[in-house]
Amino acid sequence: MNEGSALADNIKALIGHTAESVVMEVERGAIKRFCEAVGDSNPLFADAEYAKNGPYGDVICPPGFFGWPIKPAAAMSEPTATMTAEFAKAGFPGLLDGGIYYEMYIPIYPGDVLVSSAKIADVYEREGKGGKSLFGIIEIIYTNQNGDMVCKARRTLIGRQA
Amino acid sequence: MTEKKQLYWEDVEVGDQVPTLPKIATTMMLVRWAGASGDFNPHHYDDQSPMAAATGGIIVHGALKRQWLIQLMTGWIGDEGKLKKFSCQYRRLDFPRRMANFVDPMEGETWLCKGTVTNKYVEDDQYLVECEIWVETGQGEKTVPGSATVAFPSRGTK
C-alpha cells in the first residue's frame, strides 16, 4: 500500500480477501476454440497430429488459457465483483482492466484439471492527470491435478474517481 | 504443414526485432473472444450499454490484446522455446472494425504487434532473452506496452 494515502476502511479491508477456489477443466475443444478466437493457428496448440512429434507429445494450452471453470459456477469473477462493489462505495465506480503479469512454470495439457485460487493482494491509490484512481491487484495461483504450480498471475484493476 | 524453423539462443541478439504480427480486431472477433474466454462484459459487444456509451463505442478486450502479444512471442520462440514471464498494460482503448458482411471487415485500422530484444543472458542453465513488446494502432500509437522473458534452446547443449 502506498504511504500517506488515506484509503477508506472498506478498501483497506479488501487486502487479503480470498475467493473460493475454482476448478478448471482443460478440454481439447476449448483449447481449439480459444486459439480460433485469437486467430492463432500455431500447430503446437491447435494440431494434435503435429504436436504428437513435438517436445510435449501432445498439444498444450497457449499461455494465457487455463481451461473452463466447472465449479463453482459463479466464483470465477468473485474477487473482481467484491472489489468492484467496494470501490464503487468509496466513489470509484466502473473498474477497468489495467493489465496482467504472468509467471509460467509448467505447460498445461488437455485433460488437466486446474485449481485457481485468487486473492486481493494489494490496493492503492494514485493521483494522475485525470484525477484519483484506485488500483487493485488480484493474485491468482493455478495448480494442476498433481499439485504442481503451473502459473502465477497478477491482474491490475483500476477504478476512477467519479 | 509448412516446416517451422527453430530459433536458438545464439541466433538472437540484443536489438533484434521480433517479426511483426498484424491483427485486425473486428466486432465478430470480440464476440468470438467473449465466448472463448468467458468475458461477457457488454462493454465489448453492446453499443447501447452505458459503459460503451461512455467510451464512445465498444472496445477491444484488454485480454484479447494480451493474447495477441502472447501469440507474437510463442510464434517467434518456436516449439522448443518457453514463455517464462509476460506482462502488459492496457493503456489506451482500441475500437474494433465493423463487419461489412458475414466474413469481411470494413475498411479501417490494422494493429501491429511488435517486439524488440532488450537483454540476453544465462541463468540457472536457462538461456534467456528479454523483450520489450507492444501493440500499436494504425497510426503508430502504442496502446498496450509490455515485456516478456523467454527461454530458448542453446546450440551448446544440443
Domains of chain B: 9-157 (3.10.129.10)
Best probe of the A interface among B40, B73, B82, B134, by most A CBs < 10 A, is: B82
Among A96, A50, A37, A130, smallest CA distance to B55 is for A96
Option in A63, A97, A101 nearest B74 (CB): A63
Q: H/E element holding A99?
A: strand A95-104
C-alpha B113/C-alpha B60 separation (Å) is: 15
CA distance B54 to A158: 16
Q: Return the C-alpha cell found at B93.
A: 482503448
Checking DSSP bridges between strand B17-23 and strand A149-160, what pairing results, if any?
Answer: unpaired
The x, y and z cell numbers of residue B14, run together, are: 540484443
Q: Which residues of B55-83 are buried (b: 16+ CB within 10 A; e: fewer)?
A: eeebbbbbbbbbbbbbbbbbbbbbbebbb
ipTM over 0.85: yes
Residue numbers of B between 8 and 47 with CB closer than 8 Å to A: 23, 29, 32-33, 35-38
Cβ separation A37–B32 shorter than 8 A: yes
Min distance B117 CA to chain A CA atoms (Å): 19
CB A100 to CB B37 under 8 A? no
Please, which residues 86-105 of chain B have a Cβ atom closer than 8 Å to chain A?
A: 86-90
Cα–Cα distance, A134 to A162 (Å, whole number): 11
pLDDT for position B139: 93
List the single residue in B32, B33, B51 with the smallest CB-CB distance to A94: B51
- The CATH T-level fold of domain A1-26+69-162 is Thiol Ester Dehydrase; Chain A (3.10.129)
Task: Give yes or no for A135 touching B (CB within 8 A).
Answer: no
Measured between alpha carbons, how far is B55 from A138 in angstroms, rounded to an integer? 25
Min Cα distance A46 → chain B (Å) is: 12
Q: Helices B62-77 and B27-37 sit at what angle, rounded to 10 degrees?
A: 80
How far apart CA A107 and CA A142 sit, in angstroms, is 11
Which residues of A fall within a CB distance of 8 Å from B25? none
Place of cell 512454470: A105
**Signed CA dihedral, B51, B142, B135, B86: sign only:** negative
A100 to B86: CB separation less than 8 angstroms, yes or no: yes
Contact of B134 with B68, CB cutoff 8 Å: no
Residues in CB range of B92: below 8 A, 6 or more apart: B137, B141, B142, B143, B144
What order do you get walking across the sheet with B126-136 strand by strand?
Answer: A68-71, A22-25, A113-128, A131-143, A149-160, A95-104, B82-89, B142-152, B126-136, B111-123, B17-23
Q: Which residues of chain B have pLDDT under 50?
A: 1
- Cβ of residue A69 closer than 8 Å to a chain B Cβ: yes
In this structure, the strands spanning B126-136 and B111-123 are antiparallel
Alpha-carbon distance of A42 to B60, in angstroms, equals: 22
Cα separation, B132 vs B51, in Å, equals 31
In chain A, where the domains are located = 1-26+69-162, 27-65
Q: Is B84 on the interface with A (CB under 8 A)?
A: yes
pLDDT the model gives residue A1: 45
Q: What is the pLDDT of residue A68?
A: 93
Candidates A24, A38, A80, partner chain B, best to mutate (most B CBs within 10 A): A38
B62 to chain A, any CB pair closer than 8 A? The answer is yes
Using the Cβ of A126 and the Cβ atoms of chain B, whether some distance falls under 8 Å is answered with no
Nearest to B80 among A36, A55, A97 (CB): A55
Per-residue model confidence as pLDDT tens for chain A (162 residues):
444 457 888 899 999 999 889 999 999 999 999 999 999 999 999 999 999 999 999 999 999 999 999 988 665 567 888 999 999 999 998 788 999 999 999 999 999 999 999 999 999 999 988 789 999 999 999 999 999 999 999 999 999 888
Smallest CA–CA distance from A104 into chain B, residue: B84
pLDDT for res A59? 97
Interface contact B85, partner A, CB < 8 A: yes
